[in-house]
Amino acid sequence: MFFLLKRSFRVKTEDLKVKHKKVISLFIREVDTGSCNACEIEVANLNNPYYDVERFGIKFVASPKHADVLLITGCVTRNMLIPMIKAYENAPAPKFVLTVGDCTAECPYFKDSYAVEGPVSKHLPVHVHVPGCPPEPAQVIEGLLKLSHFADKDL
Amino acid sequence: MYLEEEISETEIYGKVESIIKKGGYLLSIVCSDERALGEDFVIRYFFREEGIKVLKLCVGTKFPSITSLCPAAKNYEREIRDMFGLVPEGHPDSRSLMLYPENWDPSIHPLRKDYDGKKPEFKKYGIYRYKEVFGEGINKVLVGPIHAGIIEPGHFRFSLAGEAILQLEIRHFWKHRGVEKVCEGKNPEEALRIVSRISGDNAVNISLAYLNAVETLLGIKLSQRVSYLRCVLAELERIWNHVRDLGWLFMDIGFPLPAQHLFSIQEQLMRLNKVITGHRFMFDAFSIGGVNVKIEDEEKRLIDKMLTLVEKETKEVERFAIETPSVRDRFETTGRIFRKTAMELSLCGVCARASGLKRDTRVELPYLAYKDFDVNVPISEQGDVMARFMIRVEEIYQSVNLIRGFLENLPNDNAEKQNLLFPYSWSVGNAETPRGNAFFFVMLDEKGNIYRLKYTDPSFRNWPAIQYAVLGDIIADFPLVNKSMNLSYSGNDL
């Protein structure tokens, strides 16, 4: 039983637009600041057998205190502003911010709302942004690899 | 259009009591600011009772709370106090709900029509008092808003006696984006784009509920073909949601093998979505009066192949769950919601059906192609995680059969376009999302733009139940109970 994975569907390293350098690994804490949960689902899909992001040395961790990268989704609601900043402050340096999804930058749907304080770049330094509503998992991996190049240079 | 019964503040208790005695339950409470239309604030109570029963109450600054009669009304009334500044008299909870006193001036009520759109200064205006539990040996565990896993934010406070959960208090609305206010003044087509981003994984079904309301108001008659195609997408969404939910249940009891297996089916289903609508979540697959989907012979073959696979693999997973003692040990008797609790909180969707309530919008208030097809509602009396697991499994089989039925009988017809507009009249729309009933109230102004839009997510109705489901369970079972209900944070927070 349970043998379903179709090899041909699997995202191959050589198909990605960004090259994987085997020098640095990233630990990620995901922070949702008001997305519609589609971005969360695509980020969670990175762990399924088709994307299997751990083969790049990328791992999701439970606390910002264990993280190198904050992966931020959503439009930064008023209520999530302080938790987001606290999470950033609690991550040990050097730390990097990756924003995923259109909501984190231009926020085409909710930017005029009374409850939204975005974009993320107004409050935190953003290193790499992955556009899309929501971006597909392969694009998120490319964003992460781009960030690893960036981190590699920085260290 | 629905019949409204106008009632006074003194009559409301009697009316609500008689509806509940007859087996009716609360669908939503909608407040709207109609002072510019020569009325006052209007509160409409929507009950399900052989169709929909609407009670209309005009109020000035306060209104009688019905929470003591109908506990399901609790959060709606808190919401009305935040958004409109009307005081529910006799309400047991005087705390704010969506607007946090930590950052929002409590004298500003954003859904009032005279709100000028200015945000108050970002500072502390007050504190939010959590419930206190005292006693020897009582431990507290505070979780969130940012908590482990790739998950949306919510704050959970457990009070434990040893390992058993004595009390759970949840604070939500961290993700409150003000969707209802954002939609105001937009035309229905623009609002549709926003509505499909209320809760991404239920985008199709939520949009259907919205379209149901708006198309009634605009007098648009759908062709049979469009209504069948819309139902195909709705059932495809139900399948991928349920497949994912089953996967997470295995993940949370430490069985990654069947979990990853189910996730790979989910991935294939999402890729199928992309083939037929161009988007993995089927965002923006609908327009007012239409559907943008490509289902020709080749796509039909692809869908059929996928359905065969889903059916076969779900059977395997079902057998695995039933035959593996360690799975049954974790699933059975965990997270029980009793029938009485489910009735009082007026639950919907999988949670209601697992607790013995036969509630399914597709049967109760049939819409689109569901009028022509029989939907069997699977029911269980157990109310535990296993019951919710088995109901999801049954619903996957059901959805597979429904999609096959829709595609075999796909009609080829065109409806002539009509466009009528009744300004300042309202309509409601209902649809069954994978999580339960989605409810929309829509009122358009004379230009045909949104005047007031209210959405009630199934998660908004079902979240309070989790506080009862976990009582007496150990804290390690909480993620399992949570996943078995799988409620949306963003749909709840709006």
Whether the pLDDT of residue A101 is over 60: the answer is yes
The verdict on whether omega for the bond into residue A134 sits within 30 degrees of 0, i.e. cis, is: yes
Q: What tokens appear for B358 in the block?
A: 């036969």
pLDDT value for B444: 85
Q: Residue B24 — pLDDT band, cuts 50, 70, 90?
A: confident
- Where is A26: in which H helix or E strand? strand A26-32
Strand partners, B291: B286
How far is it, in rounded angstroms, from Cα B72 to Cα B24?
A: 12
Dihedral angle sign, alpha carbons of residues A80, A85, A91, A97: positive
**How many angstroms away from the CA of A19 is the closest CA of chain B?**
24
Residues of A in contact with B266 (CB under 8 A): 45, 48
pLDDT band at A3 (very low <50, low <70, confident <90, very high): low
Contact A43 B150 (CB under 8 A): yes
pLDDT range class, residue A8, cuts 50, 70, 90: low
- Count other C-beta atoms under 10 Å from residue B231's C-beta: 23
Asked whether residue A4 carries a pLDDT value surpassing 70, the answer given is no
Give the residue on B whose Cα is nearest the Cα of A37: B200
What are the distances in angstroms from CA A147 to CA A96, B13, B321? 8, 60, 41
Q: Which chain A residue shows the shortest CA-CA distance from B193?
A: A109
Contact (CB, 8 A) for B71 and B20: no
What confidence tier does B29 reach under pLDDT thresholds 50, 70, 90?
A: very high
Domain residue extents for chain A: 21-152
B128 Cβ contact list (under 8 Å, min separation 6): B95, B96, B100, B101, B102, B171
A21-152 CATH = 3.40.50.12280
pLDDT of residue B40: 86
Whether A43 and chain B come into contact, CB under 8 Å, resolves to: yes
Query: Which residue in the set A49, A75, A83 is minimally distant from B146, CB to CB?
Result: A83
Q: Hey, are the CB atoms on B148 and A63 less than 8 Å from each other?
A: yes
Residue-range domain boundaries for chain B: 1-129, 191-455
pLDDT of B1 over the 60 cut: no
Three-state SS letters, B137-161: CEEEEEECCCCCCCCCCCEEEEEEE
Query: How far is residue B220's CA from residue B448's CA, in Å, rounded to a whole number?
Result: 13
Q: How many CB pairs under 8 A join A and B?
A: 156
pLDDT at A66 over 60: yes
Give B-chain residues touching A8 at CB under 8 angstroms. none
The per-residue pLDDT for B136 is: 86
Cα of B199 to nearest chain A Cα, Å? 5
Fold of the domain spanning B1-129: Beta Polymerase; domain 2 (3.30.460)
Pick the residue of B109, B123, B150, B245 with the most A CBs within 10 A to test the interface with A by mutation: B150
Mean pLDDT value across residues B283-306:
86
B294-300: long-range contacts, CB 8 A cutoff, minimum separation 24: B295/B229, B295/B232, B295/B407, B295/B410, B299/B275, B300/B407
Q: Which residues of B touch A40 (CB under 8 A)?
A: 150-152
Predicted local distance difference test score (pLDDT) of residue B392: 92
Residue whose structure tokens are 């929002």: B104
Q: Which residues of B touch A50 (CB under 8 A)?
A: 264, 267
> What average pLDDT does the structure give for chain B?
88
Given an 8 Å threshold on Cβ–Cβ distance, is A1 in contact with B320? yes
Contact A40 B148 (CB under 8 A): no
Amino acid at B480: L
Taking CB atoms and an 8 Å cutoff, what residues of chain B touch A139?
none
CB atoms within 10 A of CB B221: 10
Whether residue A1 has pLDDT greater than 60: no
Other Cβ atoms within 10 Å of A37 Cβ, number: 27
Chain B residue numbers touching A104 (CB-CB < 8 A): none
Asked if B490's CB is within 8 angstroms of A36's CB, the reply is yes
Residue B396: per-residue pLDDT: 93
Q: Among A61, A90, A114, A140, which would you mutate to test the B interface (most chain B Cβ atoms within 10 Å of its Cβ)?
A: A114
Q: What are phi and psi of B167, to 5 degrees?
A: -155, 145
Candidates A30, A36, A85, A123, partner chain B, best to mutate (most B CBs within 10 A)? A36
List Cβ<8 Å contacts ≥24 apart for B187-195.
B187/B448, B187/B449, B187/B450, B188/B214, B188/B218, B188/B288, B188/B444, B188/B448, B188/B449, B188/B450, B189/B287, B189/B288, B191/B450, B191/B453, B192/B286, B192/B287, B192/B288, B193/A109, B193/B284, B194/A109, B194/A110, B195/B455
Closest CA to B478 of B176, B143, B137: B143
Class of the CATH-defined domain B191-455: mainly alpha
Question: Residue A71 belongs to what H/E stretch?
Answer: strand A69-73
* Distance (Å) from the alpha carbon of A149 to chain B's nearest alpha carbon: 24
Integer angstrom CA distances of residue B384 from B164, B339, B343 = 17, 11, 16
Contact B177 A113 (CB under 8 A): yes
Q: Which residues between 134 and 153 in chain A have a beta carbon less than 8 angstroms from any beta carbon of chain B?
A: 134, 136
CA B63 – CA B45 distance, rounded (Å): 13
Element spanning A84, H or E:
helix A78-90
Inter-chain touch B122–A81, beta carbons under 8 Å: yes
Tokens linked to B469: 């489901």
Q: B18: exposed, middle or buried (C-beta count within 10 Å: 0-12, 13-18, 19+)?
A: exposed
User: How much is the pLDDT for B236?
Assistant: 92
Chain B contacts in chain A segment 67-126 (CB below 8 A): 74-75, 77-83, 87, 109-110, 112-117
**Residue numbers in A near B197 (CB within 8 A):** 36, 38, 109, 133
At A53 the pLDDT is 87
Residues A113, B264: C-beta atoms closer than 8 Å? no
- Over the stretch B65-93, which tens digit does the pLDDT of each residue have? 988 888 889 999 999 998 998 998 888 88
Question: What pLDDT shows up at residue B36?
Answer: 84
For strands A26-32 and B426-433, give the pairing. Answer: unpaired
A124 within 8 A of A83, measured Cβ to Cβ? no
Residue A77, token pair as written in the block = 């609601």
What is the rounded distance in angstroms from the CA atom of residue B428 to the CA atom of residue B394? 29
CA of B197 to nearest chain A CA: how many angstroms apart?
6
How far does the CA of residue A147 sit from the closest CA of chain B (Å)? Answer: 19
Residues of A in contact with B265 (CB under 8 A): 4
Report yes or no: A52 at the B interface, CB cutoff 8 Å. no
Q: How far, in Å, CA of B306 to CA of B268, rounded?
A: 8
pLDDT at residue A2 tops 60:
no
CB-based contacts of B394, cutoff 8 Å, min separation 6: B378
**pTM of the predicted structure, to 2 decimals:** 0.90
| Band (A6; pLDDT cuts 50, 70, 90) | low
Chain B interface test: which of A8, A27, A37, A73 (most B C-beta within 10 Å) = A37
How is residue B81 written in tokens?
Answer: 């106090």
pLDDT tens for residues B375-427?
888 888 888 999 999 999 999 999 999 998 888 888 887 766 666 667 778 88
The pLDDT tens digits of the residues spanning B422-456 come to: 777 888 889 999 998 999 999 888 888 889 899 99
Q: Determine the length of chain B.
A: 494
